[in-house]
């Protein structure tokens, strides 16, 4: 039996016997010749079969032609035949003269979704939706992005951690926790690895990262929220300020975007009609109060002065950063302590501000980062300021009672980065299997 060849490798193969496997994309059943477009995980190829005719011009018995006529879109099969290079063939410059087919699994003729089907129904049939070349590419891009990030981290002596997702108590906000039964008691699904990645600092790990699931019981029905998502986290010791964390964040994103552009740039241009722009450091840095003023001068006022930037404000400050600095990324810094967690370090000369930031990419916040407060006495007072009971935080505060270096880090949503990189309309498009308030299947 001829060994299977991936379709993407046919162009470099020599003419002759070949075997390919995939699913039927289209069938053109013409009077004299039949064409089948077969697609696998790497690309598509045209199979051709001239019909058989008797000497008097009438159709002859042709079992292969009958089998082709009965093919339904989506049928998985192995095709064998003669590979021929022909520059006239639009699909890759090659075609296969079909000699035989082995059907692995026939598909039902009527497909439940089409190119113009809405996103909700497409999510119902996600395994079919993902056969589309654009959707396939999204997850190859995601793989390249994560690999580039891991390469950056490993080459810079980071340690990869896998923190638990079952917790005895809240990591940040009890309001956004999923509660689950746990033997005779209760447990919570982790919103963030925040406390655990900080625990690695007094453990002497120095620099750590994690790419893993996180859960938010947030009943939001927006284009950028999910109840389960992949969080990209990093934490580093011996920093002077959150500026060190922002520098790490820049270098990581530049490495990831460069890898995506190098490997997939041409495909992205062909399928998404866009060019990947690799960012350059430093990204613009704008204090939150100044950013709100800039947005107001552009004609939009953020409703609450004592709150974070809202979605329209994020879009406006992103437009400003692109116009003034030519950057798709912008750091918003110096957030008020009133709207930041108790563990964010406050400014040495202004306790009303924190050494923290949000990173905006193409008009949407993708990350929050900060220098953490590492002095246990200060942490206790900041927890009290937030109305928290330090005794309930004892397990966390213990991390800081036996020595901990100055440290900081960030958490970033993987699907948001991919969504915004490819200008996708919804985070569901950039998530393999989306989870939201009303979706638990497939």
Structural domain includes residue 382: yes
Three-state SS for 360-411 is EECCEEEEEEEEECCCHHHHHHHHHHCCCCHHHHHHHHHHHCCCCCCEEEEE
> Mean pLDDT across the stretch 176-204?
95
Mean pLDDT, to the nearest integer, of 61-69? 94
Q: Which domain holds residue 413?
A: 127-430
Interval 118-129: pLDDT, tens: 999 999 999 999
Regarding whether 94 and 132 lie in a shared domain, the answer is: no
Residue 172 scores a pLDDT above 80: no
264 and 294 in a single domain? The answer is yes
Claim to verify: residue 134 and residue 271 sit in the same structural domain? yes
Lowest mean pLDDT among 50-64, 66-80, 144-158, 412-426: 50-64
* Between residues 374 and 304, the one the model is more confident about: 374
Give yes or no: residues 55 and 164 share one domain.
no
Tell me what pLDDT residue 341 has.
Answer: 95
Residue 29 lies in a domain: yes
Q: Which of 72, 105, 138 is the last residue of a domain?
A: 105
Annotated binding residues for ATP: 365, 413-416
pLDDT of residue 431: 98
Give pLDDT tens digits for 319-329.
Answer: 999 999 999 99
pLDDT value of residue 196: 95
Per-residue pLDDT tens over the stretch 89-105: 999 999 999 999 999 99
Is residue 16 domain-shared with residue 146, that is, in the same domain? Answer: no
How many structural domains is the chain composed of?
Answer: 2
Distance CA 258, CA 88 (A): 34
Specify whether 240 is located in the same domain as 372: yes
- 173 has a pLDDT exceeding 80: no
Does residue 208 lie in a domain region? yes
Question: Domain of 134: which CATH number?
Answer: 3.30.930.10
Binding site feature residues = 172, 216, 365, 368, 372, 413-416
55 Cβ contact partners less than 8 Å away, ≥ 6 residues apart: none
The percentage of residues in the chain with a pLDDT greater than 90, rounded to a whole number, is: 93
The whole-number average pLDDT for the span 142-168 is: 97
Domain assignment present for 75: yes
* Structural domain contains residue 95: yes
Give this prediction's pTM.
0.94
Of the candidates 49, 70, 105, which is a domain's last residue? Answer: 105
Answer whether residue 346 is part of any domain: yes
Q: What is residue 176's predicted lDDT score, i.e. its pLDDT?
A: 85
Residues 55 and 144 in one domain: no
pLDDT at 60: 85
Per-residue confidence (pLDDT) for residue 304, from 0 to 100: 82
Q: Does residue 133 sit within a domain?
A: yes
35, pLDDT greater than 90: yes
On whether both 151 and 82 belong to a single domain, the answer is no
pLDDT band at 56 (very low <50, low <70, confident <90, very high): confident
Which CATH number do you get for residue 55? 2.40.50.140
Confidence band, pLDDT 50/70/90 cuts, at residue 132? very high
Judged against a pLDDT cut of 70, whether residue 174 lies above it is answered with no
* Residue 116 included in any domain: no
Annotated binding site for L-aspartate: 172, 216, 368, 372
pLDDT bin (cut points 50, 70, 90) of residue 199 is: very high
Predicted confidence (pLDDT) per residue in 241-251, tens digit: 999 999 999 99
pLDDT higher than threshold 70 for residue 171: no
């Amino acid at each position: 039996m001829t060994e299977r060849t991936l379709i993407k490798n046919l162009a470099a193969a020599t003419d002759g016997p070949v075997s390919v496997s995939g699913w039927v994309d289209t069938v053109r059943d013409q009077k004299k010749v039949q064409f089948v477009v077969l697609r696998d995980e790497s690309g598509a190829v045209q199979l051709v079969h001239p019909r058989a005719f008797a000497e008097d011009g009438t159709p002859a018995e042709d079992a292969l032609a009958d089998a082709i006529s009965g093919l339904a879109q989506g049928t998985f099969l192995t095709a064998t035949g003669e590979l021929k290079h022909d520059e006239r063939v639009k699909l890759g410059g090659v075609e296969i003269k079909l000699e035989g087919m082995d059907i692995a699994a026939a598909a039902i003729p009527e497909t439940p979704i089409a190119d113009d089907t809405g996103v909700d129904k497409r999510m119902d049939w996600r395994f079919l939706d993902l056969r589309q070349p654009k959707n396939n590419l999204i997850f190859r891009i995601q793989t390249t992005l994560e690999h580039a990030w891991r390469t950056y981290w490993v080459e810079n002596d980071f340690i990869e951690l896998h923190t638990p997702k079952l917790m005895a108590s809240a990591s940040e906000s009890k309001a956004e926790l999923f509660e689950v039964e746990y033997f005779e008691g209760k447990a919570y699904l982790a919103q963030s690895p925040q406390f655990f990645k900080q625990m690695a600092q007094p453990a002497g790990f120095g620099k750590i990262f994690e790419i893993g699931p996180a859960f938010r019981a947030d009943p939001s029905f927006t284009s950028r929220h999910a109840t389960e998502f992949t969080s990209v986290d990093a934490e580093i010791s011996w920093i002077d300020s959150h500026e060190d964390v922002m520098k790490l964040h820049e270098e990581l994103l530049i490495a990831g975007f460069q890898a995506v552009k190098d490997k997939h740039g041409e495909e992205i241009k062909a399928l998404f009609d866009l060019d990947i722009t690799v960012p350059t450091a430093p990204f613009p840095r704008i204090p939150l109060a100044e950013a709100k003023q800039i947005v107001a001068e552009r004609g939009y006022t953020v409703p609450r002065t004592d709150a974070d930037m809202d979605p329209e404000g994020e879009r406006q400050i992103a437009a400003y950063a692109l116009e003034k600095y030519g950057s798709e990324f912008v750091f918003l810094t110096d957030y008020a302590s009133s709207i930041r967690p108790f563990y964010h370090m406050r400014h040495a000369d202004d306790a009303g501000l924190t050494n923290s930031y949000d990173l905006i990419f193409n008009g949407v916040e993708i990350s929050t980062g900060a220098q953490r407060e590492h002095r246990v006495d200060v942490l206790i007072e900041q927890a009290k300021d937030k109305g928290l009971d330090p005794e309930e935080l004892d397990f966390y505060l213990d991390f800081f009672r036996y020595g901990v270096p100055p440290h900081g880090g960030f958490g970033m949503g993987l699907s948001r980065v991919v969504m915004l990189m490819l200008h996708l309309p919804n985070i569901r498009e950039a998530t393999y299997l989306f989870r939201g308030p009303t979706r638990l299947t497939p």
